[in-house]
Every structure is written in C-alpha cells, then in structure tokens.
Copies of this chain bind each other. A is one copy, B any other.
Amino acid sequence: MARPTLEIVAARAAVSRQTVSNVLNSPHLVRPETRTRVEAVIAELGYRPNRAAQTLKTRRSQLVGARIEPPRDGINRVVLTHFLHALTSRAQLQGLRVMLFAADEDRDEIGQYEQLLEDHDLDAFVLTDTHVGDARTAWLAERQVPFVTFGRPWGALSAYHSWVDVDGGAGTRAATTHLLDIGHRRIAFLGWPSDAAAGDDRRDGWAQTCAAAGIHDERLDVRVPEGLEHGRAATAKLLDLADPPTALVCVTDSLALGVWAEVTRRGLRVGRDVAIVGFDDSPTAAVIGLSSAAQPMDQAAAACLELMHTVLDAPQPAPTPPGPVLLAPQLVLRASTARD
C-alpha cells in the first residue's frame, strides 16, 4: 500500500527504472510495445512521480509564485482574488501549482522572490499590480527568472517582458457607447488625476467615444483621487451645474459608489434619472446593481499561463518576450443603466 516508486513500477513491468522514466518524459525513445506495457503498470499501481525528487535533480519545481495582496480599501483590490482563483484553477490542470506569498511593498516582495527561488526552486512568478518604476520586474529580468505580469509595464522603459493586461479604453468605450445608445448625451467621466497611466487609458476611451459622437464639454471631465467620498463630492458639483450630466462613467467602482451615494442623497433615482457605470465589476457592484466594466479574469489567467509556458520553454535569455496580450473588458449591465 506504500507509495510506488519508479523502481517498483520498473520491477513490475520487467524493465529498468530509466525506461519507466522515459515512458513518462521521453516516450519517443521507447518501443511502443514496451511503452504500453509500462503505461499499464503505471496506471495499475497509480504511480505518480515524486516532485521533491524531481525538483532536487532537475531544479524545476512546477511551482509558480503569486503574491496575495493585503486587503486594502476593499473595493477594487478584491477582483484580484478572482484572478488568483482563475490562475490556480487553470494552473493545476497543467500540473502547475501556485505558491502564495505575502509582501507589503516591492522590497519585501523581492526578498520573497529570493527565498522562494532558493528554498523551493520556483519556476516562475506571476506579478500583479504593476506600476511606474516597478523594481520587481527589473530584479527578475536581471536574474533571468521567468515571469509574466498581469498589468502592463507602465514605466515604458525596461518594458522588456511578457505581459497581459485589460484594455481600459475598450471598457469605457463600450460603456460610453451604450450610454449614447440608450439616449444619453451629457455623459461625464470621473477619473484619477493623470499621474496614473491606467486612468488615462480609461479616460481616453470615454473621450474618444464622445468626440466621435460630436459631444464635448470640458466640465464633464473630472479628476479626483480614488475613494467613495471623493466621488460623492465631485458628483455634487456636477449635479449643481446648470446643465448637469445624465450619466457618469467612472474609472473605478469606488468612485461610482460615491456617485450613487450622492445621487440617492438628492432623491434622484439611479438608472432612471442618472445612469452610472463603474469599472472592475467588484462584488459590491453586483450586489447593489451597478453596471460595470468587468475584467475578464479567466482569460487573463489563461493568457498569463500561456505566456509563461512560452517563456519557460524558450532559451534564456529569450530573444523576444512573447506577448503582450490585451484583453477587452466586458460591460456588465445592471439597474444603474436601466432607464425604467
């Protein structure tokens, strides 16, 4: 009943250890006839190779590292959990496992890389939450550690790696187009100050769509810091205009919830009087009925793994990093954009 080893399987199939190994790793080397015989024994005994032994010998662990973010503001960050789930779920189908680690800032994270690489021979990392001047990508690239980022390399420089990201502009474009379709003409955008590149990306989608429809009003392009309260305050100003907007596209759900709060505070009806679209499709949005542009986490995870395989199989250093992959968000329509 003890766990079978290569040796056991070999004995049972009347071949040598190595032949069994070959059946598993280099089937072309072994005669079809013996191969099926060995495979039968493998199945019969339920043999599975011992990863520790493999790792020891090959320096490959079939493990990818992923950081679990500390719970912060609570709204937008939550969707990363979906990504993590999708990643884990897909990875395990391919025999890969996801090893978690926690880190508070980039420097901690790099420390974790070191430990994980040394202790557990991790094969690769998946990074999220990339930002301008990201020290992590440089560190990994320098050491030729395979990795893929979910989030594009914002800093432009040293963008030399594989990445997957969601096309923010496409999301706001879809949102704005839909609002135009259902008759809105005065559509505002609540975005971040322009030091956040991701925000500009999303703003552009709105701006372009409005421009294409021949609509333009500087006053409807609002920049506020992240956070429900900021969203609320900005909305108050907008609704006080002589010709207030009838719809608002927001760079995040947090801001959209701020809009929601102010709209209901004034006794206006969300959807009917004022349409709201958020971004990220957080659980909160789903619960209260806020339309939102959802990031396709399943696709993102799948794309990351695909790129990762390419990176892992490529010679190091790879001539060209595969990718990038840019995914379109999906607009999820709920009560906040329903006219009745």
Contact = CB atoms under 8 A, between A and B. Distances in A.
Interface of A: 3, 48-53, 55-56, 61, 63, 66, 68-71, 73-75, 78, 81-82, 84-85, 88-89, 92, 97-102, 112, 115-116, 118-121, 228, 254, 257, 261, 264, 267, 282-284, 286-288
Nearest to A281: B74
How many copies of this protein are present in the complex? 2
Given A89-B102, A97-B101, A102-B92, A81 B75 contact: no
B53 A283 contact: no
A282 to B, nearest CB: 8
State the 3 A-B residue pairs at the shortest beta-carbon distance, nearest first: A74-B283, A89-B102, A52-B55
A88 B100 contact: yes
A286 B102 contact: no
A80 to B, nearest CB: 8
Nearest to A3: B118
Nearest to A55: B52
A155 B102 CA distance: 34
A235 B228 CA distance: 26
Contacts of A115: 48
B48 A52 contact: no
B102 A88 contact: yes
Contacts of A118: 3, 48, 50
